[in-house]
């Protein structure tokens, strides 16, 4: 066995990048491409993978440290056979050096801190063409880069589905399948930057008409834009509008807040909506499902995790509240407050935003009457909630003032048909109109 120094690989022009997570500890057994640390710049974040397999003997960094290419990350014990050899493919050597190991002269190619754009240019024409592609801005491990080069795929045009947007081999395969389905012809489908064959937006110099200011999008803005664009293009959306009478619910909510005023507990309408949604998912299980990657099978879930869109200064994020069916209104209120705070303080971890069954986007605190939320794939539906207002509702004898809550349900029409969409919103309205039904 030999001790090797594991260094930060080539991360482009980025220097003094902050470490936001240390993912390994002394004694951990690490495989090739396992993540060691997570670093973040003002543009994005990424994980630094291990170029070797071995056991961590010493961690040389901590959260908050700033590193650049060549910085020492960990000391790792590896097999003698690997000590003097590059772990990654020869075209992309690993930044590893050890006792008796010779330093390689060529620099490794590693992912830089930038999210990948959506599907764009088509496949390269063989290895000679793909070898010329510049993957310096693609967020992918060396093995995935090699895989893409072998297949002639441009990683710069692949959307990553891995942790924090990392591109996986499955993403490369899906990209190639998408391009091939469009014929791989420039100017059509995936080759033109989308899958609809629409010409790209022109690059316009707006300064010719007056003074302008260019403001960089935040990392969250960029990633959210990519995911929403992908979901809008690939999912046939339908939106069903309805409204629920929450007059009695609101009276009960205010009563609970008065009773718990001393404890500081504040219950919002959203927790009741979450409970009603779970009841709807149980009554209509197709809403609690996902299509498999090939779109040939429906995966039904028997757990109830609800994502809640949170507006932060840097953009929209959707943390997930787990096992909503097993928690009380009070527990949900506490958890919702805590996770919303983490979102605004940029303390959410990837696991906090994964595994959702259904999402809720509430604009009730801002305004508006209705909107069309975009499905948060791989979920098949999302509920939009707008601001409630007093309306005259006919009760059979007279018009009476009632507090009405607008509901906007968007769903994947491949999974849910219009009739079931209408039944779902009708069911939600019934649950919210008489919250005693949530106890049945």
3-state secondary structure of 264: coil
Are residue 77 and residue 186 in the same domain, yes or no? no
> Is 16 a domain residue?
yes
3-state secondary structure of 139: coil
Do 384 and 407 form a contact (C-beta atoms < 8 A)?
yes
> Is 111 a domain residue?
no
Q: Of 144, 171, 192, which residue constitutes the final position of a domain?
A: 192
**Domain CATH code at residue 249:** 3.30.559.10
> Is 390 a domain residue?
yes
Active site residue 305: no
Are residue 76 and residue 163 in the same domain, yes or no? no
Q: Which domain range does residue 253 map to?
A: 221-439
Are residue 80 and residue 146 in the same domain, yes or no? no
Are residue 286 and residue 353 in the same domain, yes or no? yes
Are residue 141 and residue 282 in the same domain, yes or no? no
Are residue 284 and residue 372 in the same domain, yes or no? yes
- Following DSSP, what letter does each residue of 80-111 receive, concatenated? HHHHTS-SS-TTS--SEEETTPPPPSSPPP--
Compute the distance between CA of residue 233 and CA of residue 225 in angstroms, rounded to an integer: 12
pLDDT computed for residue 178 by the predictor: 72
pLDDT computed for residue 136 by the predictor: 60
Are residue 184 and residue 265 in the same domain, yes or no? no
> Is 205 a domain residue?
no
Q: Is 383 exposed, middle or buried (0-12, 13-18, 19+ CB in 10 A)?
A: buried
Are residue 381 and residue 249 in the same domain, yes or no? yes
Compute the distance between CA of residue 6 and CA of residue 97 in angstroms, rounded to an integer: 7
Are residue 89 and residue 131 in the same domain, yes or no? no
Are residue 47 and residue 173 in the same domain, yes or no? no
Compute the distance between CA of residue 214 and CA of residue 121 in angstroms, rounded to an integer: 26
> Is 34 a domain residue?
yes
> Is 364 a domain residue?
yes
pLDDT computed for residue 130 by the predictor: 44
**Domain CATH code at residue 144:** 4.10.320.10
> Is 27 a domain residue?
yes
Q: Of 98, 116, 141, which residue constitutes the final position of a domain?
A: 98
> Is 64 a domain residue?
yes
pLDDT computed for residue 109 by the predictor: 37
| Domains held by the chain: number | 3
Compute the distance between CA of residue 180 and CA of residue 150 in angstroms, rounded to an integer: 16
pLDDT computed for residue 312 by the predictor: 87
The pLDDT profile of the chain, 440 residues, written as one tens digit per residue, is: 788 999 988 776 677 888 888 888 999 888 888 889 888 765 556 778 888 899 999 999 998 899 988 899 999 998 765 555 434 433 333 333 333 333 333 333 333 333 333 333 444 444 444 445 666 667 776 667 778 877 778 888 888 887 667 788 888 888 877 766 554 443 344 433 444 556 677 889 999 999 999 998 888 888 888 888 889 988 999 999 999 999 999 999 999 999 988 888 899 999 999 999 999 999 999 999 999 988 889 999 999 999 999 988 888 899 999 999 999 999 999 999 999 999 988 888 888 999 999 999 999 889 899 999 999 999 999 999 999 999 999 999 999 999 999 999 999 999 999 999 999 999 999 999 999 888 77
Residue with tokens 């080539």, as numbered in its chain: 10
Are residue 326 and residue 234 in the same domain, yes or no? yes
Are residue 376 and residue 422 in the same domain, yes or no? yes
**Closest of 145, 114, 109, 116 to residue 46, by C-alpha:** 114
| 14: Cβ contacts below 8 Å, ≥ 6 apart | 41, 68, 112, 113
pLDDT computed for residue 89 by the predictor: 37
Respond yes or no on whether the N-terminal peptide bond of residue 323 is cis (omega within 30° of 0). Answer: no
State pTM to two decimals: 0.59
**Domain CATH code at residue 25:** 2.40.50.100
Do 92 and 142 form a contact (C-beta atoms < 8 A)?
yes
- Buried b / exposed e along 158-190 (16+ C-beta atoms within 10 A): bbbbbebbbbbeebbebbbebbeebebeeebbb
Q: Of 56, 82, 98, which residue constitutes the final position of a domain?
A: 98
């Amino acid at each position: 066995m030999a001790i090797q120094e594991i260094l930060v690989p080539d991360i482009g022009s980025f220097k003094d990048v902050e470490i936001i997570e240390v993912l390994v500890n002394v004694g951990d057994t690490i495989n090739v491409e396992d993540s060691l640390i997570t670093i973040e710049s003002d543009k994005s974040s990424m994980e630094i993978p291990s170029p070797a397999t071995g056991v961590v003997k010493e961690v040389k960094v901590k959260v908050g440290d700033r590193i650049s290419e060549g910085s020492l990350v960990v000391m790792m014990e590896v097999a003698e056979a690997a000590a003097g050899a590059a772990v990654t493919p020869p075209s992309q050597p690993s930044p590893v050096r050890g006792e008796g190991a010779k330093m390689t002269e060529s620099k490794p190619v590693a992912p830089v801190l930038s999210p990948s754009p959506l599907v764009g240019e088509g496949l390269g024409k063989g290895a000679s063409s793909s070898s010329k592609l510049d993957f310096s801005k693609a967020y992918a491990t060396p093995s995935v880069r090699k895989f893409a080069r072998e297949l002639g795929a441009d990683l710069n045009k692949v959307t990553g589905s891995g942790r924090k947007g990392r591109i996986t081999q499955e993403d490369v395969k899906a990209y190639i399948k998408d391009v091939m389905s469009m014929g791989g012809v420039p100017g059509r489908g995936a080759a033109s930057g989308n899958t609809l064959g629409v010409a790209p937006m022109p690059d316009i110099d707006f300064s010719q008409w007056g003074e302008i200011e260019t403001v960089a999008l935040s990392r969250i803005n960029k990633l959210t834009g990519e995911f929403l664009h992908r979901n809008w293009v690939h999912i046939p959306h339908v939106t069903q509008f309805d409204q629920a009478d929450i007059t009695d619910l609101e009276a009960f909510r205010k009563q609970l807040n008065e009773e718990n005023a001393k404890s500081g507990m504040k219950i919002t309408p959203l927790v009741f909506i979450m409970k009603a949604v779970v009841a709807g998912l149980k009554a209509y299980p197709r809403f609690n499902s996902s299509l498999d990657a090939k779109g040939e099978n429906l995966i039904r879930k028997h757990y109830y995790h609800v994502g809640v869109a949170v507006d932060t200064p840097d953009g929209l994020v959707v943390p997930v509240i787990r096992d909503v069916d097993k928690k009380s209104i009070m527990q949900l209120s506490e958890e919702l407050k805590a996770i919303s705070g983490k979102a605004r303080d940029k303390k959410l971890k990837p696991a906090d935003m994964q595994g959702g069954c259904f999402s809720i986007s509430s604009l009730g605190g801002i305004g508006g009457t209705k909107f069309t939320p975009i499905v948060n794939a791989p979920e098949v539906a999302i509920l939009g909630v707008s601001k409630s207002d007093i309306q005259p509702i006919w009760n059979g004898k007279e018009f009476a003032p009632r507090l009405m809550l607008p509901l906007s349900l968007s769903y994947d029409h491949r999974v849910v048909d219009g009739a079931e969409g209408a039944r779902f919103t009708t069911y939600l309205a019934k649950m919210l109109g008489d919250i005693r039904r949530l106890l049945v």
